[in-house]
Amino acid sequence: MATPVIMPRQGQSVESCIITKWHKKKGDKVSQGDILFSYETDKASFDEEAPVSGEMLDVYFEEGDDVECLLNVCVIGEPGEDTSAFAPKKEGQGEEQPAEQPAQQAAEAPTAQPVAVKSEPADGFIKISPRAKGLASRQGIDYKYAEPTGPNGRIIERDIRALAESGVKFTSAAAGEYEKNPGVSGTGIGGRVSLSDFASAPAASAAPVQPAAEYTDEKVPNIRKVIAKTMHASLSDMAQLTLNTSFDATAIMNFRALVKENRESLGLENITLNDIVLYAVSRTLPEFRALNANWLGDTIRYFNVVNLGVAVDTPRGLLVPTVYAADRLSLNELSKQSKAVISDAQSGTINPDLLKGASFTVTNLGSLGVTSFTPVINPPQTGILGVCGIETKVKVVNGELKAYKAMNLSLTFDHRALDGAPAAKFLQKLAKNLENFTLMLAK
């Protein structure tokens, strides 16, 4: 039996991928694990490995083709096997892929396995018995995640019970959130997932994460529009300017040393200075909503959470994966998540959904010895913080010069969205928070 290889769906929002290179061609022998082809989305590129050994019987697309996800790309099997059944349908006569196919794919590439909505039938509505539906509703369970075992793919009572036992329950408030961030385990009554669980959720790095809908759209006031126009006009397309500051890094360095000492016994992450800065940013930003925002022209989108973009230098160039709802993560969790997304970005396995949706970005050139720079805003965000290296500075303490470790911060902000004073106040507050980091943690 020949085995088709499909174009994987790398994230819920990805509809198609471009084949960038064929490593095998029709007629080639392939062994399980061989790279068949490389492909990329608009955000990341991937290699597809052979799921089985055999001969490459058929190849349906060429390099450069934009292939709809889940379509068969090639077929591997025994020489001479009939592959006609696998030829993908031309556009317009598309046939739904059997449900097993993506599941199979997921099994082969566990890092990319979506936490699937289990019962999404081709005809567009979920089959569920009234009893199962009632039970799900009473128990605050989102039945979409139930594995249907009834006739014709119907979710029946036992499926809801199974789902409940597997721990995925929601408070009604959290149901919508779970849809965006599945995989969260509940800590509420009876194991229910509540909104607070999302705040502390270590979202799986490869999960098809949707940006949190935590924002409010407000009309840009006329004065703001005038300022924006002026600023924009003065600075051509962008109204960016950068403020620099420096703070006493003693507190955070002491804290980091403390973590390092106790890491193993407390089971903590390797919390870096960058993580500490990220944490401080995530806790400081909410007070400065114009910086935790997207400039959308006629509207400004103010976020109620801090979706922190983390600029990462990768072999493919700069990528900015997002740590969602960073303000709701503990320092330890933030550290863990930021490392995970950085690592995925560097290895190229980053879920494309994680490459967008940030409300503010932090970029760190400190390790490269940079002491001050002008980071460029990632539109439509309104600000980006550059983190620089540690320097030794002196200050007067009780009439004496005293050396201390200092860190420079460079904030670039969009003057269309806010003015200089609030940006400076943010930087000042951030610096103060970092200098009194342990106090901030106590909050």
Partner 1 sequence: MPKSQFMDPDVLRKPGKIKFKDIDCNQYKKTIEQEKANFSNEDFVRIYHDMAVIREFETMLYSIKTKGEYNGIEYNNPGPAHLSMGQEASAVGQAYLLGVDDYIFGSHRSHGEILAKGMSAINKLDDKTLYDIMANFMDGRILKIVEKDQKSTKELAIDFLVYGALAEIFARETGFHKGLGGSMHAFFLPFGIYPNNAIVGGSATIAAGAALFKKVNKKNGICISNIGDGSVGRGPVWEAFNFAAMDQYTQLWEESYKGGLPVIFNFFNNCYGMGGQTCGETMAYGILARIGAGINPDMMHSERVDGFDPLAVIDCMRRKIDIIKNNKGPVIMDTLTYRYTGHSPSDSGSYRTPEEVKAWENYDVLKTYSAKLVDAKIADRAQFDAINEDVKALITKTCKMAADLEISPRMDLVAVPDEIEKLMFSNQKVEKMADGPCDVLMPMEENPRVQAIARKERFGIDKNGKPVSKNKVFQFRDALFEAIIDKFYKDPTLISYGEDVRDWGGAYAVYRGLTEALPYHRMFNAPISESAIVGSAVGYAMAGGRVIVELMYCDFLGCAGDEVFNQLAKWQSMSAGLLKMPVVLRVSVGSKYGAQHSQDWSSLVAHIPGLKAVFPATPYDAKGLMNAALMGTDPVVFFESQRLYDIGEQFHEGGVPKDYYEVEIGEPDIKRQGTDVTILTIGATLYKALKAADILKEKYNISAEVIDARSIVPFNYDKVIESVKKTGKIVLASDAVERNSILKDMAENISELAFDYLDAPPVVVGSRNWITPAHELEKFFFPQEDWIIDAIHERIMPIPGYVATNNFTDNEKLRRAKLGV
> What minimum distance in Å lies between the beta carbon of 152 and partner 1?
7
DSSP 8-state secondary structure symbol assigned to residue 381: B
If the CB atoms of residues 21 and 127 are measured against partner 1, the closer one turns out to be 127
> What minimum distance in Å lies between the beta carbon of 312 and partner 1?
47
Q: Which tokens in the block code for residue 149?
A: 């075992």
For residues 365 and 387, is the Cβ–Cβ distance under 8 A? yes
**Cis link prior to 380 (omega < 30° from 0)?**
yes
SS3 156: coil
> What minimum distance in Å lies between the beta carbon of 169 and partner 1?
19
Segment 112-141, which members bind partner 1 (CB under 8 A)? 129-132, 134
- Pairwise CA distance, residues 26 & 55, whole Å: 8
Fill in the per-residue mask, 1 to 40: x = in contact with partner 1 (CB under 8 A), - = not in contact: ----------------------------------------
- Pairwise CA distance, residues 1 & 333, whole Å: 46
The site for partner 1, by CB under 8 A, has a size of 13
> What minimum distance in Å lies between the beta carbon of 153 and partner 1?
11
If the CB atoms of residues 159 and 353 are measured against partner 1, the closer one turns out to be 159
Side-chain-side CA neighbours of residue 221 (13 Å) = 6
E strands, 231-350, in order: 240-248, 293-295, 299-303, 308-310, 312-314, 317-319, 322-323
Per the DSSP assignment, residues forming a β-bridge with 384 are 361, 412
Segment 280-339, which members bind partner 1 (CB under 8 A)? none
- Pairwise CA distance, residues 356 & 309, whole Å: 8
If the CB atoms of residues 130 and 315 are measured against partner 1, the closer one turns out to be 130
Radius of gyration of the chain (CA): 25
If the CB atoms of residues 5 and 135 are measured against partner 1, the closer one turns out to be 135
Per CB under 8 A, the segment of 143-151, 189-197, 250-258, 342-350 that binds partner 1 is: 143-151
If the CB atoms of residues 90 and 138 are measured against partner 1, the closer one turns out to be 138
If the CB atoms of residues 130 and 317 are measured against partner 1, the closer one turns out to be 130
> What minimum distance in Å lies between the beta carbon of 118 and partner 1?
16
Helices and strands in the chain, H and E counts: 11, 21
For residues 419 and 442, is the Cβ–Cβ distance under 8 A? no
If the CB atoms of residues 80 and 130 are measured against partner 1, the closer one turns out to be 130
> What minimum distance in Å lies between the beta carbon of 162 and partner 1?
12
Segment 214-273, which members bind partner 1 (CB under 8 A)? none
If the CB atoms of residues 23 and 158 are measured against partner 1, the closer one turns out to be 158
For residues 285 and 426, is the Cβ–Cβ distance under 8 A? yes
Q: How far is CA 29 from CA 71, 226, 240, in A?
A: 22, 66, 55
> What minimum distance in Å lies between the beta carbon of 140 and partner 1?
17
Nearest to 386 by CA among 368, 364, 360: 364
If the CB atoms of residues 134 and 190 are measured against partner 1, the closer one turns out to be 134
Fill in the per-residue mask, 144 to 183: x = in contact with partner 1 (CB under 8 A), - = not in contact: -----xxxx-x-xxx-------------------------
> What minimum distance in Å lies between the beta carbon of 148 and partner 1?
10
> What minimum distance in Å lies between the beta carbon of 120 and partner 1?
20
Q: Are strands 16-22 and 45-49 parallel, antiparallel or unpaired?
A: unpaired
For residues 357 and 51, is the Cβ–Cβ distance under 8 A? no
Q: Which residues bind partner 1 (CB under 8 A)?
A: 129-132, 134, 149-152, 154, 156-158
